[in-house]
Amino acid sequence: MKIRAAVLEEFGRPLEVQEVDLAEPKPGEVLVRLVACGVCHTDLYTASGADPSGYAPTVLGHEGAGVVERVGDGVGSLAPGDHVVTLFSPQCRECVHCRDSRTNLCLAIREQQNQGFLPDGTTRLSRAGEPIRHFMGTSTFAEYTVMPEIALARVAPEAALDRACVFACGLSTGLGAALNTAKVEEGSTCVVFGAGLVGLGAVAGCRLAGAWRIICVDPAEQRLELAHGQGAHDTIAGGPGVVEQILEMTGGFGADYTFEATGRVDVMRQAVESARMGWGLATVCGVAGKGETLDVVPRFLITGRRVAGSSFGGVKGRDQVPQFVDRYLAGDIDVDPLISHTLSLDEVNRGFDPMHAQDGIRSVIAFDSGE
């Protein structure tokens, strides 16, 4: 079938919205009609050429939500008409990682996905007979996409898909960092560095976990106001002296849990140094630039602080994303303030501009699909 999609032809250049070919789903695969898709910093990171694992040409986009149109042979968990959220982090429920509660890093299709292919090592996207690779196994900057069944989470049909789409990446990453990776305990003190979508998700996750005090750090006043709405009790503008500020606010000890959601290695270090002596846990969610390293003084670790990394918040997507969406429907998670701009597919490149300007939280592409 012919579809319109935003293609990354060359790193560092704007995406080109054009007509491409999309093949029918093969066994174990699903055709999804996209209704909405968030424009995430990871898309910008890859488009810029900063991602060492990036490739082109490819159709970008991974924060999608839509409706199942057709299913390939052997698909048993999804049917036409189901509402789904796309998962760049699949869940086969069978590999050694899926069967272990300690990680969400499914191994089933990891090698092929990292190379831009679907599970059989080929693509469904093409142009003039030449293959176009799939970005993160999703490629949701498009009217339709074909994805593996194991990379789609069926969600409640009552959920607006232009809200549900942010659970495909940013919001779930932050929520999961607090609830899954750090396992924030009731009555604890938490500090979140960065008030983008991931950071605000972490603030909400700490609130849902029953944290006694949540401090959010970000230089943008508008974002700090949003952090209060997600549950932050105190806010700080950040800067070189932020560690000392946090220590002063916590009786000289530091926070039980800190979260880094900026992708900046200097902030990662601040998160470690702001964690409490004895048992503080610093969870790193942000993706640093190519070749960057985290410089930590060993004394901070020897005196009991720990550092953990968190990919997609440790979320096992097919199981937990629907649960998060249900909590949104129940009023526990406030998504509306997080959607800053609504764009058409033709305006996809405009979705990157607010990231540079720190204007709002998330731009969402709304497809003209009648939903």
Query: Among all residues, which ones are annotated catalytic?
Result: 40-42, 62-63, 92, 95, 98, 106, 110, 169, 362
CA angle 362, 359, 365 (to 5 degrees): 35
Q: Look up residue 371 and give its two tokens.
A: 């939903």
* DSSP conformational letter for 209: T
The rounded distance, in Å, linking the Cα atoms of 188 and 257 is: 8
Give residue 21's identity as a one-letter amino acid code: D
Give how far Cα 67 sits from Cα of 5, 6, 71, 346, 349, Å. 17, 19, 11, 21, 24
| Residue 74 burial by Cβ neighbours in a 10 Å radius (0-12, 13-18, 19+) | exposed
The rounded distance, in Å, linking the Cα atoms of 121 and 125 is: 12
Establish whether the linkage from the previous residue to 14 is cis, with ω within 30° of 0. no
Q: Which residue has the tokens 């530091």?
A: 254
Closest by Cα among 78, 52, 56 to 67: 78
> Do 91 and 316 contact (CB within 8 A), yes or no?
yes
DSSP letter for each residue of 211-228: -SEEEEE-S-HHHHHHHH
Closest by Cα among 305, 261, 303 to 285: 261
CA angle 317, 67, 99 (to 5 degrees): 20
| Residue 128 burial by Cβ neighbours in a 10 Å radius (0-12, 13-18, 19+) | exposed
* Count of other CB atoms within 10 angstroms of residue 219: 13
Q: Which residue has the tokens 């996809």?
A: 348
> Do 60 and 17 contact (CB within 8 A), yes or no?
no
Strand pairing partners for 281? Answer: 257, 306
Q: Look up residue 66 and give its two tokens.
A: 């839509």
